[in-house]
Protein backbone atom coordinates (compact mmCIF):
# COMPACT_ATOMS: atom_id res chain seq x y z
CA UNK A 1 0.00 0.00 0.00
CA UNK A 2 1.25 3.47 -0.80
CA UNK A 3 2.61 5.31 2.16
CA UNK A 4 0.12 8.11 1.61
CA UNK A 5 -2.76 5.71 2.22
CA UNK A 6 -1.00 4.04 5.12
CA UNK A 7 -0.54 7.36 6.83
CA UNK A 8 -4.07 8.48 6.04
CA UNK A 9 -5.45 5.23 7.36
CA UNK A 10 -3.44 5.56 10.56
CA UNK A 11 -4.52 9.14 11.24
CA UNK A 12 -8.10 8.50 10.15
CA UNK A 13 -8.21 5.29 12.21
CA UNK A 14 -7.14 7.07 15.36
CA UNK A 15 -9.70 9.85 14.88
CA UNK A 16 -12.42 7.33 14.01
CA UNK A 17 -11.84 5.15 17.06
CA UNK A 18 -11.65 8.21 19.28
CA UNK A 19 -14.92 9.58 17.91
CA UNK A 20 -16.62 6.18 18.25
CA UNK A 21 -15.58 5.83 21.90
CA UNK A 22 -16.64 9.39 22.71
CA UNK A 23 -20.01 8.85 20.97
CA UNK A 24 -20.77 5.59 22.76
CA UNK A 25 -19.80 7.04 26.14
CA UNK A 26 -21.79 10.20 25.47
CA UNK A 27 -24.92 8.31 24.40
CA UNK A 28 -24.71 6.03 27.41
CA UNK A 29 -24.27 8.86 29.86
CA UNK A 30 -27.02 10.93 28.22
CA UNK A 31 -29.40 7.98 28.28
CA UNK A 32 -28.64 7.31 31.94
CA UNK A 33 -29.15 11.01 32.66
CA UNK A 34 -32.43 11.22 30.86
CA UNK A 35 -33.75 8.15 32.69
CA UNK A 36 -32.64 9.38 36.07
CA UNK A 37 -34.15 12.81 35.37
CA UNK A 38 -37.43 11.17 34.47
CA UNK A 39 -37.45 9.12 37.69
CA UNK A 40 -36.50 12.20 39.69
CA UNK A 41 -39.47 14.01 38.23
CA UNK A 42 -41.87 11.18 38.96
CA UNK A 43 -40.44 10.99 42.48
CA UNK A 44 -41.18 14.66 43.01
CA UNK A 45 -44.77 14.20 41.83
CA UNK A 46 -45.28 11.30 44.23
CA UNK A 47 -43.89 13.54 46.99
CA UNK A 48 -46.57 16.11 46.36
CA UNK A 49 -49.24 13.45 46.04
CA UNK A 50 -48.21 11.70 49.23
CA UNK A 51 -49.03 14.88 51.13
CA UNK A 52 -52.24 15.84 49.35
CA UNK A 53 -53.84 12.87 47.64
CA UNK A 54 -55.68 11.51 50.67
CA UNK A 55 -58.46 13.09 52.59
CA UNK A 56 -60.28 11.91 55.68
CA UNK A 57 -63.78 10.69 55.15
CA UNK A 58 -65.33 11.83 58.42
CA UNK A 59 -68.49 9.83 57.89
CA UNK A 60 -66.62 6.58 57.48
CA UNK A 61 -63.73 7.77 59.66
CA UNK A 62 -61.27 6.50 57.03
CA UNK A 63 -58.87 7.83 54.41
CA UNK A 64 -59.94 8.00 50.82
CA UNK A 65 -58.21 9.38 47.70
CA UNK A 66 -58.74 13.01 46.89
CA UNK A 67 -59.85 12.23 43.37
CA UNK A 68 -60.40 15.88 42.43
CA UNK A 69 -56.85 16.82 43.36
CA UNK A 70 -55.34 13.86 41.54
CA UNK A 71 -57.36 14.49 38.41
CA UNK A 72 -56.35 18.12 38.45
CA UNK A 73 -52.73 17.15 38.72
CA UNK A 74 -53.08 14.69 35.83
CA UNK A 75 -54.67 17.46 33.80
CA UNK A 76 -51.84 19.82 34.49
CA UNK A 77 -49.32 17.12 33.53
CA UNK A 78 -51.25 15.82 30.57
CA UNK A 79 -48.62 17.07 28.16
CA UNK A 80 -46.11 14.76 29.75
CA UNK A 81 -48.80 12.06 29.93
CA UNK A 82 -48.16 11.47 33.63
CA UNK A 83 -50.77 9.40 35.51
CA UNK A 84 -51.17 8.44 39.11
CA UNK A 85 -52.41 5.42 41.00
CA UNK A 86 -53.16 5.01 44.67
CA UNK A 87 -53.10 1.59 46.33
CA UNK A 88 -54.32 0.84 49.81
CA UNK A 89 -52.43 -1.22 52.38
CA UNK A 90 -53.85 -4.42 50.87
CA UNK A 91 -52.43 -3.77 47.41
CA UNK A 92 -55.79 -2.85 45.96
CA UNK A 93 -56.11 0.15 43.72
CA UNK A 94 -58.29 2.83 45.28
CA UNK A 95 -57.63 5.35 42.55
CA UNK A 96 -58.79 5.26 39.89
CA UNK A 97 -61.76 3.37 41.23
CA UNK A 98 -63.52 3.28 37.96
CA UNK A 99 -64.59 -0.33 37.61
CA UNK A 100 -64.54 -0.13 33.83
CA UNK A 101 -60.74 0.04 33.90
CA UNK A 102 -58.98 -3.16 34.52
CA UNK A 103 -56.73 -2.12 37.36
CA UNK A 104 -53.80 -4.33 38.21
CA UNK A 105 -52.33 -4.69 41.66
CA UNK A 106 -48.60 -4.24 42.27
CA UNK A 107 -46.37 -7.24 41.60
CA UNK A 108 -45.54 -9.22 44.72
CA UNK A 109 -41.82 -8.61 44.49
CA UNK A 110 -42.28 -4.85 44.25
CA UNK A 111 -44.97 -4.91 46.95
CA UNK A 112 -42.57 -6.66 49.35
CA UNK A 113 -40.04 -3.90 48.88
CA UNK A 114 -42.66 -1.21 49.35
CA UNK A 115 -43.84 -2.75 52.57
CA UNK A 116 -40.32 -2.48 53.87
CA UNK A 117 -40.49 1.24 53.18
CA UNK A 118 -38.36 1.49 50.02
CA UNK A 119 -39.56 3.46 47.02
CA UNK A 120 -39.24 1.55 43.74
CA UNK A 121 -38.51 2.88 40.24
CA UNK A 122 -39.31 0.39 37.48
CA UNK A 123 -37.47 0.43 34.17
CA UNK A 124 -38.58 0.61 30.63
CA UNK A 125 -40.70 -2.39 29.73
CA UNK A 126 -43.27 -3.02 32.36
CA UNK A 127 -46.95 -3.64 32.96
CA UNK A 128 -49.33 -0.73 32.62
CA UNK A 129 -50.94 -0.68 36.08
CA UNK A 130 -54.27 0.44 34.66
CA UNK A 131 -54.83 -2.11 31.94
CA UNK A 132 -52.17 -4.76 32.59
CA UNK A 133 -50.62 -4.39 29.14
CA UNK A 134 -46.88 -4.64 28.60
CA UNK A 135 -45.72 -1.18 27.70
CA UNK A 136 -42.57 0.94 27.67
CA UNK A 137 -42.94 3.30 30.57
CA UNK A 138 -41.37 4.56 33.75
CA UNK A 139 -43.13 3.96 37.05
CA UNK A 140 -42.31 5.29 40.46
CA UNK A 141 -43.89 3.69 43.56
CA UNK A 142 -43.74 5.46 46.87
CA UNK A 143 -45.06 3.93 50.10
CA UNK A 144 -46.61 6.27 52.71
CA UNK A 145 -46.49 5.20 56.34
CA UNK A 146 -48.30 6.46 59.40
CA UNK A 147 -46.55 5.54 62.65
CA UNK A 148 -44.81 2.52 61.09
CA UNK A 149 -47.97 1.24 59.48
CA UNK A 150 -48.23 1.21 55.69
CA UNK A 151 -51.03 3.57 54.88
CA UNK A 152 -51.05 3.53 51.10
CA UNK A 153 -48.78 3.55 48.04
CA UNK A 154 -48.66 6.33 45.48
CA UNK A 155 -47.58 5.45 41.93
CA UNK A 156 -46.71 7.91 39.17
CA UNK A 157 -46.07 6.67 35.63
CA UNK A 158 -45.50 8.03 32.15
CA UNK A 159 -44.83 6.42 28.77
CA UNK A 160 -41.17 6.53 27.71
CA UNK A 161 -41.72 7.75 24.11
CA UNK A 162 -40.55 11.29 24.99
CA UNK A 163 -37.48 9.97 26.71
CA UNK A 164 -36.67 7.74 23.78
CA UNK A 165 -37.26 10.47 21.25
CA UNK A 166 -34.97 12.85 23.11
CA UNK A 167 -32.29 10.16 23.24
CA UNK A 168 -32.74 9.49 19.53
CA UNK A 169 -32.35 13.22 18.85
CA UNK A 170 -29.07 13.20 20.74
CA UNK A 171 -27.99 10.11 18.82
CA UNK A 172 -28.83 11.75 15.54
CA UNK A 173 -26.88 14.90 16.41
CA UNK A 174 -23.97 12.80 17.46
CA UNK A 175 -24.13 10.88 14.22
CA UNK A 176 -23.97 14.13 12.24
CA UNK A 177 -21.03 15.29 14.37
CA UNK A 178 -19.42 11.94 13.78
CA UNK A 179 -19.81 12.21 10.01
CA UNK A 180 -18.48 15.75 9.98
CA UNK A 181 -15.46 14.89 12.07
CA UNK A 182 -14.79 11.83 9.90
CA UNK A 183 -14.80 14.14 6.90
CA UNK A 184 -12.44 16.58 8.62
CA UNK A 185 -10.30 13.62 9.67
CA UNK A 186 -10.00 12.48 6.06
CA UNK A 187 -9.03 15.95 4.84
CA UNK A 188 -6.57 16.58 7.70
CA UNK A 189 -5.03 13.13 7.42
CA UNK A 190 -4.66 13.59 3.68
CA UNK A 191 -2.73 16.85 4.06
CA UNK A 192 -0.58 15.63 6.94
CA UNK A 193 0.19 12.40 5.10
CA UNK A 194 0.89 14.20 1.85
CA UNK A 195 3.32 16.56 3.59
CA UNK A 196 5.27 13.62 4.99
CA UNK A 197 5.15 11.65 1.77
CA UNK A 198 6.33 14.66 -0.24
CA UNK A 199 9.39 14.96 1.97
CA UNK A 200 10.19 11.31 1.52
CA UNK A 201 9.58 11.53 -2.23
CA UNK A 202 11.98 14.47 -2.38
CA UNK A 203 14.62 12.31 -0.69
CA UNK A 204 13.91 9.51 -3.15
CA UNK A 205 14.26 11.83 -6.10
CA UNK A 206 17.54 13.17 -4.73
CA UNK A 207 18.77 9.61 -4.14
CA UNK A 208 18.15 8.82 -7.81
CA UNK A 209 19.99 11.98 -8.76
CA UNK A 210 22.98 10.97 -6.63
CA UNK A 211 22.84 7.41 -7.96
CA UNK A 212 23.20 8.87 -11.43
CA UNK A 213 26.31 10.73 -10.38
CA UNK A 214 24.84 14.17 -9.81
CA UNK A 215 26.07 15.27 -6.39
CA UNK A 216 24.77 18.78 -6.73
CA UNK A 217 21.79 18.30 -4.44
CA UNK A 218 20.43 20.19 -1.50
CA UNK A 219 17.97 18.65 0.92
CA UNK A 220 18.94 20.81 3.87
CA UNK A 221 15.79 22.91 3.38
CA UNK A 222 13.85 20.34 5.33
CA UNK A 223 15.85 20.89 8.46
CA UNK A 224 13.51 23.68 9.65
CA UNK A 225 11.26 21.17 11.37
CA UNK A 226 13.28 18.90 13.59
CA UNK A 227 12.03 15.39 13.24
CA UNK A 228 13.39 12.05 12.05
CA UNK A 229 12.77 12.83 8.38
CA UNK A 230 14.71 16.09 8.53
CA UNK A 231 17.49 14.33 10.46
CA UNK A 232 17.56 11.74 7.71
CA UNK A 233 17.71 14.52 5.10
CA UNK A 234 20.63 16.14 6.91
CA UNK A 235 22.48 12.84 7.24
CA UNK A 236 21.81 12.22 3.59
CA UNK A 237 23.19 15.62 2.67
CA UNK A 238 26.34 14.93 4.71
CA UNK A 239 26.69 11.59 3.00
CA UNK A 240 26.36 13.24 -0.41
CA UNK A 241 29.05 15.75 0.55
CA UNK A 242 31.51 13.09 1.59
CA UNK A 243 30.63 11.04 -1.49
CA UNK A 244 31.28 14.05 -3.66
CA UNK A 245 34.57 14.71 -1.89
CA UNK A 246 35.78 11.16 -2.24
CA UNK A 247 34.63 11.09 -5.84
CA UNK A 248 36.61 14.26 -6.51
CA UNK A 249 39.61 12.78 -4.70
CA UNK A 250 39.36 9.64 -6.86
CA UNK A 251 39.27 11.83 -9.96
CA UNK A 252 42.27 13.81 -8.75
CA UNK A 253 44.22 10.67 -7.96
CA UNK A 254 43.30 9.16 -11.30
CA UNK A 255 44.32 12.33 -13.10
CA UNK A 256 47.63 12.44 -11.21
CA UNK A 257 48.31 8.80 -11.96
CA UNK A 258 47.51 9.31 -15.63
CA UNK A 259 49.66 12.43 -15.79
CA UNK A 260 52.48 10.70 -13.96
CA UNK A 261 52.44 7.71 -16.30
CA UNK A 262 52.39 9.97 -19.35
CA UNK A 263 55.19 12.18 -18.04
CA UNK A 264 57.34 9.33 -16.83
CA UNK A 265 56.97 7.51 -20.15
CA UNK A 266 57.80 10.70 -21.99
CA UNK A 267 60.86 11.36 -19.86
CA UNK A 268 62.18 7.83 -20.26
CA UNK A 269 61.63 7.64 -23.96
CA UNK A 270 64.46 10.05 -24.85
CA UNK A 271 67.32 8.19 -23.12
CA UNK A 272 65.90 4.81 -24.16
CA UNK A 273 65.72 5.93 -27.81
CA UNK A 274 69.32 7.18 -27.61
CA UNK A 275 70.54 3.89 -26.09
CA UNK A 276 68.54 1.85 -28.59
CA UNK A 277 69.96 3.84 -31.53
CA UNK A 278 73.54 3.40 -30.34
CA UNK A 279 73.02 -0.34 -29.66
CA UNK A 280 71.66 -0.85 -33.17
CA UNK A 281 74.63 1.08 -34.58
CA UNK A 282 76.97 -1.21 -32.66
CA UNK A 283 75.04 -4.34 -33.68
CA UNK A 284 75.23 -3.52 -37.40
CA UNK A 285 78.76 -2.20 -37.13
CA UNK A 286 77.56 1.20 -38.28
CA UNK A 287 79.70 3.01 -35.73
CA UNK A 288 83.34 3.48 -36.63
CA UNK A 289 85.81 1.85 -34.23
CA UNK A 290 87.18 5.16 -32.95
CA UNK A 291 83.69 6.40 -31.97
CA UNK A 292 82.68 3.23 -30.13
CA UNK A 293 84.24 4.36 -26.84
CA UNK A 294 82.32 7.65 -27.07
CA UNK A 295 79.06 5.78 -27.88
CA UNK A 296 79.46 3.55 -24.86
CA UNK A 297 80.15 6.62 -22.71
CA UNK A 298 76.95 8.22 -24.04
CA UNK A 299 74.96 5.07 -23.28
CA UNK A 300 76.38 5.01 -19.74
CA UNK A 301 75.31 8.61 -19.25
CA UNK A 302 71.83 7.93 -20.57
CA UNK A 303 71.50 4.87 -18.33
CA UNK A 304 72.63 6.95 -15.34
CA UNK A 305 70.03 9.50 -16.27
CA UNK A 306 67.37 6.82 -16.36
CA UNK A 307 68.42 5.49 -12.97
CA UNK A 308 68.38 9.01 -11.54
CA UNK A 309 64.93 9.57 -12.99
CA UNK A 310 63.59 6.38 -11.44
CA UNK A 311 65.25 7.12 -8.08
CA UNK A 312 63.96 10.67 -7.99
CA UNK A 313 60.47 9.50 -8.79
CA UNK A 314 60.61 6.97 -6.01
CA UNK A 315 62.01 9.63 -3.65
CA UNK A 316 59.25 12.05 -4.58
CA UNK A 317 56.54 9.47 -4.00
CA UNK A 318 58.08 8.48 -0.68
CA UNK A 319 58.18 12.04 0.54
CA UNK A 320 54.70 12.71 -0.77
CA UNK A 321 53.21 9.73 0.99
CA UNK A 322 55.17 10.48 4.17
CA UNK A 323 57.31 7.39 3.99
CA UNK A 324 60.62 8.93 4.84
CA UNK A 325 61.76 9.62 8.35
CA UNK A 326 63.48 12.94 8.97
CA UNK A 327 66.43 12.72 11.33
CA UNK A 328 66.21 16.29 12.52
CA UNK A 329 69.03 17.93 14.45
CA UNK A 330 70.46 21.39 14.94
CA UNK A 331 73.62 22.09 12.95
CA UNK A 332 75.47 25.01 11.41
CA UNK A 333 73.80 26.00 8.10
CA UNK A 334 76.73 28.30 7.16
CA UNK A 335 79.09 25.35 7.30
CA UNK A 336 76.81 23.19 5.17
CA UNK A 337 76.48 25.98 2.58
CA UNK A 338 80.27 26.48 2.53
CA UNK A 339 80.66 22.78 1.73
CA UNK A 340 78.17 23.14 -1.12
CA UNK A 341 79.98 26.17 -2.51
CA UNK A 342 83.21 24.23 -2.81
CA UNK A 343 81.38 21.28 -4.41
CA UNK A 344 79.66 23.48 -6.97
CA UNK A 345 82.68 25.63 -7.70
CA UNK A 346 83.68 23.63 -10.72
CA UNK A 347 80.22 23.79 -12.28
CA UNK A 348 80.00 27.50 -11.54
CA UNK A 349 83.37 28.13 -13.13
CA UNK A 350 82.28 26.21 -16.21
CA UNK A 351 79.29 28.52 -16.57
CA UNK A 352 81.41 31.56 -15.84
CA UNK A 353 79.49 32.18 -12.62
CA UNK A 354 80.79 33.64 -9.37
CA UNK A 355 79.63 31.85 -6.19
CA UNK A 356 79.28 34.03 -3.11
CA UNK A 357 78.49 32.86 0.43
CA UNK A 358 76.83 35.47 2.64
CA UNK A 359 76.45 34.11 6.16
CA UNK A 360 77.65 34.63 9.72
CA UNK A 361 80.10 32.08 11.03
CA UNK A 362 77.44 30.17 12.90
CA UNK A 363 73.83 30.03 11.74
CA UNK A 364 72.02 27.19 13.50
CA UNK A 365 69.33 25.35 11.59
CA UNK A 366 67.06 22.54 12.76
CA UNK A 367 66.61 20.00 9.95
CA UNK A 368 67.56 16.60 8.58
CA UNK A 369 71.12 17.31 7.47
CA UNK A 370 71.10 15.26 4.27
CA UNK A 371 67.69 16.53 3.19
CA UNK A 372 68.75 20.12 3.96
CA UNK A 373 71.78 19.70 1.69
CA UNK A 374 69.55 18.10 -0.96
CA UNK A 375 67.21 21.12 -0.89
CA UNK A 376 69.89 23.81 -1.03
CA UNK A 377 71.99 21.90 -3.53
CA UNK A 378 69.08 21.55 -5.94
CA UNK A 379 68.28 25.25 -5.78
CA UNK A 380 71.91 26.26 -6.17
CA UNK A 381 72.35 23.83 -9.03
CA UNK A 382 69.34 25.33 -10.81
CA UNK A 383 70.82 28.78 -10.30
CA UNK A 384 74.07 27.75 -11.98
CA UNK A 385 72.12 25.93 -14.70
CA UNK A 386 70.13 29.03 -15.63
CA UNK A 387 72.83 31.66 -15.15
CA UNK A 388 75.68 32.39 -17.54
CA UNK A 389 78.52 34.65 -16.43
CA UNK A 390 76.63 35.97 -13.44
CA UNK A 391 76.72 35.89 -9.68
CA UNK A 392 75.05 33.38 -7.42
CA UNK A 393 74.71 34.31 -3.78
CA UNK A 394 73.95 31.77 -1.06
CA UNK A 395 72.89 33.36 2.22
CA UNK A 396 71.83 32.17 5.66
CA UNK A 397 70.67 34.06 8.73
CA UNK A 398 68.78 33.40 11.93
CA UNK A 399 65.22 34.76 11.99
CA UNK A 400 62.46 34.77 14.62
CA UNK A 401 62.03 31.11 15.58
CA UNK A 402 63.38 30.07 12.19
CA UNK A 403 66.43 30.01 9.94
CA UNK A 404 66.19 32.00 6.71
CA UNK A 405 68.12 30.88 3.66
CA UNK A 406 68.25 32.34 0.18
CA UNK A 407 69.80 31.57 -3.20
CA UNK A 408 69.76 34.42 -5.68
CA UNK A 409 71.16 34.49 -9.16
CA UNK A 410 71.48 36.98 -11.98
CA UNK A 411 70.37 34.50 -14.61
CA UNK A 412 67.61 34.23 -17.18
CA UNK A 413 64.77 34.54 -14.66
CA UNK A 414 61.18 33.45 -15.24
CA UNK A 415 57.86 34.94 -16.25
CA UNK A 416 55.03 35.06 -13.69
CA UNK A 417 53.39 32.16 -15.45
CA UNK A 418 56.48 30.03 -15.24
CA UNK A 419 56.93 30.83 -11.53
CA UNK A 420 53.40 29.51 -10.89
CA UNK A 421 54.31 26.08 -12.24
CA UNK A 422 57.84 25.32 -11.15
CA UNK A 423 56.70 23.13 -8.20
CA UNK A 424 54.90 20.78 -10.57
CA UNK A 425 56.59 17.50 -11.36
CA UNK A 426 58.27 17.39 -14.79
CA UNK A 427 57.73 21.10 -15.29
CA UNK A 428 60.42 22.78 -17.34
CA UNK A 429 59.95 26.43 -18.15
CA UNK A 430 61.94 25.99 -21.31
CA UNK A 431 61.70 22.43 -22.61
CA UNK A 432 64.37 23.09 -25.23
CA UNK A 433 66.90 23.31 -22.38
CA UNK A 434 66.15 19.92 -21.04
CA UNK A 435 69.30 18.30 -22.26
CA UNK A 436 71.61 20.67 -20.44
CA UNK A 437 74.28 19.19 -18.36
CA UNK A 438 72.63 19.27 -14.93
CA UNK A 439 68.89 19.56 -14.96
CA UNK A 440 66.67 17.61 -17.18
CA UNK A 441 63.89 15.77 -15.41
CA UNK A 442 61.91 18.68 -13.97
CA UNK A 443 61.63 16.81 -10.66
CA UNK A 444 64.16 18.83 -8.62
CA UNK A 445 61.89 21.61 -7.33
CA UNK A 446 58.91 19.28 -6.85
CA UNK A 447 61.06 17.24 -4.44
CA UNK A 448 62.49 20.38 -2.82
CA UNK A 449 59.00 21.69 -2.16
CA UNK A 450 57.86 18.42 -0.60
CA UNK A 451 60.94 18.26 1.63
CA UNK A 452 60.62 21.83 2.90
CA UNK A 453 56.92 21.28 3.61
CA UNK A 454 57.73 18.09 5.47
CA UNK A 455 60.09 20.09 7.70
CA UNK A 456 57.29 22.57 8.42
CA UNK A 457 59.18 25.31 6.57
CA UNK A 458 58.33 27.49 3.61
CA UNK A 459 59.76 28.15 0.17
CA UNK A 460 59.03 31.16 -2.02
CA UNK A 461 60.43 32.41 -5.28
CA UNK A 462 60.90 35.88 -6.62
CA UNK A 463 61.89 36.10 -10.25
CA UNK A 464 62.08 38.56 -13.08
CA UNK A 465 62.77 37.51 -16.61
CA UNK A 466 66.19 38.55 -17.79
CA UNK A 467 67.14 39.90 -14.35
CA UNK A 468 67.42 36.96 -12.03
CA UNK A 469 65.78 34.70 -9.52
CA UNK A 470 65.78 34.47 -5.73
CA UNK A 471 64.59 31.40 -3.84
CA UNK A 472 63.88 31.95 -0.14
CA UNK A 473 63.64 28.99 2.20
CA UNK A 474 62.84 28.94 5.91
CA UNK A 475 63.21 26.13 8.44
CA UNK A 476 61.45 26.47 11.82
CA UNK A 477 63.60 26.11 14.93
CA UNK A 478 63.35 23.15 17.24
CA UNK A 479 60.70 24.84 19.40
CA UNK A 480 58.22 25.59 16.63
CA UNK A 481 58.94 22.74 14.22
CA UNK A 482 56.00 20.37 13.83
CA UNK A 483 56.18 16.78 14.93
CA UNK A 484 56.43 14.55 11.92
CA UNK A 485 53.26 12.55 11.39
CA UNK A 486 53.77 8.81 11.89
CA UNK A 487 55.11 7.05 8.81
CA UNK A 488 52.35 5.66 6.65
CA UNK A 489 53.07 2.54 4.73
CA UNK A 490 51.21 3.15 1.53
CA UNK A 491 52.47 1.39 -1.52
N1 LIG B 1 67.19 29.78 -10.87
C2 LIG B 1 66.34 29.61 -11.91
N3 LIG B 1 66.29 30.49 -12.91
C4 LIG B 1 65.42 30.31 -13.94
N5 LIG B 1 64.59 29.26 -14.07
C6 LIG B 1 64.59 28.34 -13.10
C7 LIG B 1 65.45 28.47 -11.96
N8 LIG B 1 65.24 27.40 -11.15
C9 LIG B 1 64.28 26.65 -11.78
N10 LIG B 1 63.89 27.21 -12.92
C11 LIG B 1 62.84 26.72 -13.84
O12 LIG B 1 62.06 25.77 -13.16
C13 LIG B 1 62.04 24.51 -13.84
C14 LIG B 1 61.93 23.40 -12.86
O15 LIG B 1 63.10 23.24 -12.10
P16 LIG B 1 63.47 21.82 -11.55
O17 LIG B 1 64.68 21.94 -10.76
O18 LIG B 1 62.27 21.31 -10.90
O19 LIG B 1 63.69 21.01 -12.85
P20 LIG B 1 64.98 20.87 -13.73
O21 LIG B 1 66.05 21.69 -13.12
O22 LIG B 1 64.55 21.25 -15.13
O23 LIG B 1 65.27 19.34 -13.66
P24 LIG B 1 65.90 18.52 -12.43
O25 LIG B 1 64.84 17.60 -12.01
O26 LIG B 1 67.06 17.82 -12.99
O27 LIG B 1 66.29 19.51 -11.40
C28 LIG B 1 63.33 24.53 -14.62
O29 LIG B 1 63.24 23.69 -15.74
C30 LIG B 1 63.46 26.00 -15.00
O31 LIG B 1 62.72 26.25 -16.19
MG1 LIG C 1 66.78 21.38 -11.11
Å from CA of 358 to ligand 1 middle? 23
Look at residue 92 and give its three-state secondary structure. coil
Proximal ligand: closest to the CA of 308: 1
Residue 439: CB within 6 Å of ligand 1?
yes
Look at residue 366 and give its three-state secondary structure. strand
CA count, 13 A, side-chain hemisphere, 129: 30
Domain containing residue 465: CATH number: 3.30.565.10
The pLDDT of residue 15:
82
Residue 382 Cα: closest atom of ligand 1: 8
Task: Examine the domain organization and report whether 109 and 23 are in the same domain.
Answer: yes
CB-count exposure of residue 319 (10 Å: 0-12, 13-18, 19+):
buried
pLDDT higher than 70, residue 98: no
Let me know if residue 180 belongs to a domain: no
376, 429, 430, 467: which to mutate for ligand 1, most atoms within 8 A of CB? Answer: 429
Residue 28: count other Cβ atoms within 10 Å of its Cβ. 10
pLDDT band at residue 434 using 50, 70 and 90 as cut-offs: very low
Look at residue 322 and give its three-state secondary structure. coil
DSSP H or E stretch at residue 125: strand 125-127
Proximal ligand: closest to the CA of 411: 1
Domain range holding 420? 325-476
Between CA 403 and CA 132 the distance in angstroms is: 126
Let me know if residue 177 belongs to a domain: no
Residue 387 Cα: closest atom of ligand 1: 3
Residue 427: CB within 6 Å of ligand 1?
yes
Buried b (16+ CB within 10 A) or exposed e, 94-130: bbbeeeeeebeebeeebbebbeeeebbbbeeebbbbb
Å from CA of 51 to ligand 1 middle? 131
Residue 408: CB within 6 Å of ligand 1?
no
Task: Examine the domain organization and report whether 156 and 15 are in the same domain.
Answer: yes
Last residue of a domain, one of 272, 304, 336: 304
Look at ligand 1, atom 2, and give the residue with the nearest C-alpha.
383
Proximal ligand: closest to the CA of 437: 1
As for how many domains the chain has, the answer is 3
Residue 27 CB contacts under 8 Å (≥ 6 apart), including other chains: 167, 170, 171, 174
Proximal ligand: closest to the CA of 470: 1
Residue 440: CB within 6 Å of ligand 1?
yes
pLDDT band at residue 101 using 50, 70 and 90 as cut-offs: low
Task: Examine the domain organization and report whether 140 and 288 are in the same domain.
Answer: no
Task: Examine the domain organization and report whether 151 and 284 are in the same domain.
Answer: no
Å from CA of 54 to ligand 2 middle? 138
Query: Average pLDDT for residues 277-300, to the nearest whole number?
Result: 92
Sheet with 468-476, strands from edge to edge, namely 354-359, 391-399, 402-409, 468-476, 458-464
Peptide bond preceding 226: is omega within 30 degrees of 0, i.e. cis?
no
Task: Examine the domain organization and report whether 342 and 412 are in the same domain.
Answer: yes
Most confident of 52-61, 117-126, 356-365, 439-448: 356-365
Let me know if residue 204 belongs to a domain: no
Q: pLDDT for 21-49, tens place per residue? A: 988 898 889 888 888 888 898 899 988 88
Let me know if residue 242 belongs to a domain: yes
Q: pLDDT for 173-208, tens place per residue? A: 888 988 888 888 889 888 888 888 888 898 899 999
Amino acid sequence: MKMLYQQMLAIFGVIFVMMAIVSVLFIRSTTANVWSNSFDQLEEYTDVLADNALQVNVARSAFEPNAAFIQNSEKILQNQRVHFMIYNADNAAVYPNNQANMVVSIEAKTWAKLKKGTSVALPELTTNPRNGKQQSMTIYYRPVFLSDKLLFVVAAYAPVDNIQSSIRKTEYNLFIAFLLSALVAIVVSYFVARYQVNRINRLRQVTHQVAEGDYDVDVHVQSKSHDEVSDLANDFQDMVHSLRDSQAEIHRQEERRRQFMADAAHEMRTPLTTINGLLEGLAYDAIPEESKGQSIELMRNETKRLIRLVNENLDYEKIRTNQILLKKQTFNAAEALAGMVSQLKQKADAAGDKLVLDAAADVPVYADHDRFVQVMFNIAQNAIQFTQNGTITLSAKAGYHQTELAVSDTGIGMTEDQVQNIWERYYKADPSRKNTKYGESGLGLAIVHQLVTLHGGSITVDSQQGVGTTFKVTFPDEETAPQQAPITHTK
